[in-house]
Amino acid sequence: MLNRTFMRTFLRAVLLALPLFATAGCATYEWHKDGADTGAARALLDSCSLKARSEAARRIQATPPAPNIAVDREGRTVILQPPDRDGERFLLEQDLIRRCMTGAGYTLQPVDRKPSR
């Protein structure tokens, strides 16, 4: 049986990522700010991404803790592996990037990819 903490974390990650997957094929998004050029947005996004990666790694340890050793109802020794925290770190990273970009006045908008006539 899976660890309840793992299942809650996994379910939360799936529910948070579901809208991203649902709209992935529908539209392409980019950061936009009136009066800012694409190069400035790209440079800020790179800076925000670097800061977010560093902060997320600091908050969520990359190396998992040691496994837990337990005894089941029938007296057998069971080794419970701790949940993988990569998904949690990824979601935190994306949230920190979004906060950084919106804090600088950017909004995430769909790109109009219709061919011109």
Instruction: State if pTM tops 0.85.
Output: no
pLDDT at residue 65 greater than cutoff 80: no
81 in Cβ contact with 4 (< 8 Å): no
Which helix (H) or strand (E) segment holds residue 30: the answer is: strand 29-32
Domain assignments of the chain as residue spans, ordered by start: 4-24+40-110
88 in Cβ contact with 9 (< 8 Å): yes
The predicted-structure confidence for 25-57, as pLDDT tens digits, reads as follows 667 899 999 999 889 999 999 999 999 999 998
The CA distance from 73 to 91, in Å, is 36
pLDDT at residue 103 greater than cutoff 70: yes
The overall average pLDDT reported for the chain is: 82
Q: What is the pLDDT of residue 19?
A: 63
pLDDT bucket at 85, cuts 50 / 70 / 90? confident
Nearest to 93 by CA among 47, 44, 50: 50
Q: What is the pLDDT of residue 51?
A: 96
Q: What is the pLDDT of residue 46?
A: 96
pLDDT at residue 102 greater than cutoff 80: yes
The CA distance from 106 to 34, in Å, is 8
What integer is the mean pLDDT of 93-111?
Answer: 94
pLDDT at residue 22 greater than cutoff 90: no
Alpha-helical runs (H) found in 1-117: 4-24, 38-59, 86-103
